[in-house]
Structure formats: structure tokens, C-alpha cells
Amino acid sequence: MTSRQEIFSVSSSVPIQAPPFPSRNDHPVPRTGITDQAPISTNKFYANMFLGTRTQPVWIHPFSVWWSNGAPGSSQGWGLSVSHTTAEQRASPAFGPDPNADPVQYYFNPTGIQSLCLSAMELGPTSGEMTLNNLEAMSVEMKLGLCNSEEQNIKIPLIQGSGFISALYNNLSPKFTSTVLFRSVSQVGNSLKWRIQLEDGNVWLLYAFPFNAYKPALKLHLKGKSTIESRHQFDGLIQVTKVPRDERQFDTLADPCAGTWANSVQVSAYYDISCPSKIGYTFDFRLDSRSCSTNNLLMYALPHHVESLKKKTHSTYPEFLQSTTKGVMTAIVGSSWNLQEDHIFRDDFCDMNASSDTIILSKIAKIASSAREEALGDPTAESNLDSMYFAGKALDKYACLCWVICAVLKDTDLAQKTLSKLKEAFSRFAENRQRFPLTYESAWGGLVSTAMYETGDLMMDFGNGCYNDHHFHYGYFIHTAAFIAKMDDMLGNGKDWLNANKPFVDTLVRDTANVNPSDKYFPVSRAFDWFHGHSWAKGLFESWDGKDQESTSEDAYFSYGLKLWGSVIGDNALEQRANLMLAVQKRAFRNYFLLQDDNQNQPRQFVKNKVTGILFENKVDHTTYFGNDIRFIQGIHMIPVSPVSRYIRWQRFVREEWKRYFAQDPLTGDDGWKGILYSNYAIIEPNKAWNFFAADDFKRAWLDGGATQTWYLALCAHFMGSLPLEED
């Protein structure tokens, strides 16, 4: 038996039958311009191309692209517009609201700068249409074609990290426009290459590879200052890319790679039981069979990719082009990337007294006193809410409380009583009896709250009906279910509860983290973006600045819940996939979201904020969707504090953040955020945090709706007695 396991393999433990929920086939957001009939990954980078006007930018990094539809009054024409912005273009008012502040609250990158627009003489507002197909996790195919014609079109595979914008022309006469305006266009000798200089001084390269040797070679003519056109139809590949710096050096890199392109990406990973602290994963870029090379694929990697690359297996060219919100990208030549995470979070269920019996025992009396009081609570009443998010937090609150009673206090009688109440509360949701039940809707393919349908408000429950925040909402339920199943096992209750509730929880997993491309009910990896290394929370809402996320901690808690659920159902592939997600998240958070003083990827004048707040694809704003209080902005990246918090929030960062904002106790406030801040403080000062939670004058008002004093006390005691995690 091999010690290696492919962790993206389809697991038999999560069957793909119809979801056990009522179904409907309608959704208030129309599915526009999509030719595929399969479920759609609603939270992916390309969503702006099927939402709203369909003309907002899409970021494939380092380039942004958008459909210019030739609307009246627009100077951008009709076709696929392409842009790339530099850090220098973030001038005032891109930093604000006070550009001289240190730190600034936000920065953004200019949008709509049309360096090039790829189109054809035959296409325009009345003659052309834009459709999408092959919508996958890291790629989508855009088609620009003549209306009602399958014979004349441009197919453009859009892949995250693309080094070229690749367009396959079919019986059309190429046309290129620019609102920046063309300074010059020149063919390089008799080659298939053109150098295009814009009036902003930037140089773009264009390559043309004909598929039909019997048709005339591509001839381009500059018409005025804004148009380059061909007088003949062309069948073949046209690629464009921006020259990032020294032209001669870049030509040497780009020329051998021109003519090679990918249509999609496959992510795979292997777990080796003989080396449990490491997991390697691969991006295999699936090349088009007509490519000129089988390996000379030019792509761009983000900083967190470069850190984890097995460097000897790749040709890398560092710091070539700027990304919008994630630092400078590195050019990589090769049809696959081999990456490895070396510090896997190996704990599954936190045995809070395994590492330090003496310290825990000295704290048992206080923990037990708190637990007995909080176990009197009513999880059924507290979770009887009209929000899946807040209901999930309430259930998880009691799951964590019960875990301390069961695993730390080892009070079997109280554990059984508390667990029984928790199961009763959970049953309302497993049986779909909550205020706004869930429904499976087949228009997009997913499990949503009926609140949107009943009220007509797309933003009910934070936009759950339009796929906002599903990994946050359902992550709490998945984590709760894993704790219940594990405690049943510890208490000798058998597997009846697990077997009865598994279909419900598995459906939540399928909605948020499906791995099976053959699942006709749910898309693959709705929330988690393997290219960016974290999830996106925004669903079916058009956005000028792209997808976004404001809570790294809830993102990681979702992965942690998947890990625990995989453990209790015996799905090792799911468990290890979640381990990999956590490791990649840790790396991405450190690079882009949680800002150590020496962070190199966010602008210098932003880093003192310590967290990004809301990170979009095109901007970063140190705020939240629910308020500008510093406790909210910093705290939403802490909640919920759990054993995995020390893994994703390393000690140096927590010290810097605490010193910057919360060293004076009054700054922590007088409500539930105070408890969140002090539980996070336990990562670096568990004794001081214990003293806060154990104080005689501790107020219940300092606990938010998803936490208990018991859980925080147990965490503090656990952190006292276990070694700090590596500061890698």
C-alpha cells in the first residue's frame, strides 16, 4: 500500500446525490451570457462578466480585463479591454482619505485605463455578443462573436496569472484600439511580432501565429492615433503582453514563450503519511494542443507562490509586474508549478490537557465553576434566529463549551446533558425547521437561505441568498457537527447521531468546498481561491473593485471545521485538503492581510494599520462593512479565537498589533469585542489573558454571542502549557 494519497481525489464518503432539501429553479439574479449548464462558482474572479452590466473589470493578475460593449458615449469601442497599472499610478486620490496620513485608511488602483482593446472589424455593439463557457475554478473562456454565428469569433481563455492575453481568431479581421492612444506600431523584422508603444510611454508586444498557412499573413496598419487594424481576415493566435522593464531582457524571455497558451488549470496535491508535516501541491496548466511548445508557458506568480515554490524545478524572473493588492509578481516559465507547504497544522481536536496537566489542573476549579453556570444556557433559544450566520455562531458557542466539559473537565454527566441540549438545537437546522429554511436552487447551483425569496431583500442574512459568506455561515455548522460527533465517540454514544446528520453536513461541505467536478449540483471550490491562497466572500454582486474578504480568521475557521469533519467521517482526503488550505491561508494572510511592520507587499504608508480590513481584488480599505471602530476592524480578523488562531496569527504580529492599538485597556471597549481582543491576547500573554477572564469583576457583557467564558479560560490555560508555534 502506497504512503502517498492524492488529496483532490473524489471521496466516496461524500456522495453526490441530490441535496436533501426542497429545491427550486429560480433566482433573482439572472444567469446572463453563460453557455455552460453546470453549476457556477459564484465567488470567482470572473463573476463581473456575468453580473449587472457585465462590463466591470476582472483581475487575472497582473492584468485586468473587461468587456467594452460600445455603449453610447463610451470611447472604448467594443471588445476585450486590457490594462495593467503600476504602484506609481496610485497617486492621490488613490491613497486616502488623507493622502499624507501614516497610515492611510485605504488605497486603490485606477481602473478603466484601456491600454489595448482586442476586437475585430466585423464586431460592434449591434453585430457582436459576448458569452462565457468552461467556467472553472481558475479559468474561464470568453467568446466574442458575431450574433447568430458559430463561424466567426474570438475565443479568449482567461487564466489567473497569465503572462499573455491570448486570443484565438476565427475568420475575423483583427482590430485593436486604445484610449491611451498609440505612439507607434512596428513589426520586428519579418517576424510574427510587433512592438506597440503607447502615448503613456509603455510598450506592449503583440505576436500573431496563423493556423492556416494558405491565408495571407497578418498585416497591421495604424489608423490615426487610436486604432490598429488588419485588412484581411485571420485564423490563428494573437497574444499581447506588457513589457515590464528593460525591453531587450524581456524580449529574451517572452519570445520563446510566445505561441504557447493554456486553456485551464488543474490543482492536485499529495499527502505522504511518512512526512505528515508537509504537503506538496501542483498547478498543472493544461496547454492547448496547438501550442508551439509543451513547456514554455509564461505565467506570473504572487509573492506567496514564490515562497513555496520548489525553486530548482522552475525558471523564475523576480519582481516583473505589479499586482493590484498583493505586491510585485514574479515571471515563471513552465507548464506546471510545484509548490510545498512545510508547516502543516497537525492538531485535530484540541486535547486541552494533553500538554500540561499541572497547569490545567491548577485552573480546573475556575473553569468548572464557569462551565456549570454557562451550561444552564439554552442553545435552542439562542440559535432560534433568522440568520444562518448568527445561529451558527450560537450553536458553535455551545459546542466549544461542551468540548471543555467533556475533554478538559471530563465531567461525563454534565457533558451528556449539555450535548443533548446542543443536539436538540442543531436538529432544527438539520431538519430545516428554522425561521428561514434552506433551499437548493438550481439556477446557479447551491444551498441558500429562503430569506431572500420571502423578503425580496438580496442582502438578508448578509447576502446568503446570493452566496455571500457561505464559508463563514456554514463553517460554524460544520465545526459544531464535528465536535458533536467527536464527543459522541468519546462518551460512548455510538454513531447514530453522525449517521443521521451526515447528509445535512455533507451538503454544507459540498456547497462551500466541493472537490468533485462531476457533481452536477454544486460547483468546485465556491469560496476558496487556490491562486490567491484564501477565500472570497462576495457572491453574486457586481463590484467595481472585484471580490473581497474582511475576515481572515473566519476563513481559517472554515478550513479548520472541514479538517475536523474529515477526521470524524474518516475522509482523510478532506482532512488533508483542509490542512493544505490552512497552510496556504497562513502564508497568504502573512503576506497580504496581517501586516508585520516589515511587510513588503502592502504600500509603506498602509502597513501601520496592521490588518487590511477589507481586501478587494483592486483596493484595500481599513474598515468593515459594519463600522469603522478599530476594535471591529482588528477584531473581525481574530474572531473566533480557537486553537488554530495561534497557527495563522503568529506571535510577533500579535505583539505589534496589541502594542499599536490595545496596550491601554480602555481601548478594548466595554462589549463583546473586549472578550475577543483579550482572547486573542492569550496568544502572546496567556497568563494575563487568564487573569482578565478569571477576574471576579468579569462581565458577561464582554462575551459576544459566539463565545463563553469557559472556552476562553480553557484556551488561556491551554496556551500557557503548550509551546509557541514556529515563527516561520
Residue-level pLDDT at 362: 77
First to last CA, the chain: 33
Of 341, 461, 469, 545, the catalytic one is 469
Of 136, 488, 545, 554, the catalytic one is 554
Q: Which residues contact 698 (CB under 8 A, 6 or more apart)?
A: 692, 709
Which of 574, 577, 589 shows the shortest CA–CA distance to 533?
A: 589
Structural domain 32-261, CATH architecture: Distorted Sandwich (2.70)
Q: How far apart are CA 449 and CA 467, in angstroms?
A: 9
Residue-level pLDDT at 354: 44
Q: Do the beta carbons of residue 569 and residue 13 sit within 8 Å?
A: yes
Q: What is the pLDDT of residues 318-343, one digit of tens each?
A: 878 999 999 999 999 999 999 999 99
- Which stretches of the chain drop beneath a pLDDT of 70? 1-2, 11-15, 246-248, 312-313, 350-360, 722-728
Q: What are the residue ranges spanned by the domains of the chain?
A: 32-261, 264-341, 357-721
Q: What is the pLDDT of residues 22-56, one digit of tens each?
A: 999 999 999 999 999 999 999 999 999 999 999 99
Correct CATH for 357-721 of 2.80.10, 1.10.600, 1.50.10, 1.10.1040: 1.50.10
Q: Which residues contact 224 (CB under 8 A, 6 or more apart)?
A: none
Tell me if residue 469 is catalytic. yes
Q: How far apart are CA 198 and CA 53, in angstroms?
A: 28
Q: What is the pTM of this model?
A: 0.96
Residue-level pLDDT at 355: 45
Give one word for 181, left, alpha or beta, with left for phi > 0 and alpha for psi -120 to 50: left
Q: How far apart are CA 172 and CA 154, in angstroms?
A: 8
Of 136, 441, 511, 550, the catalytic one is 550
Q: How far apart are CA 394 and CA 434, in angstroms?
A: 14
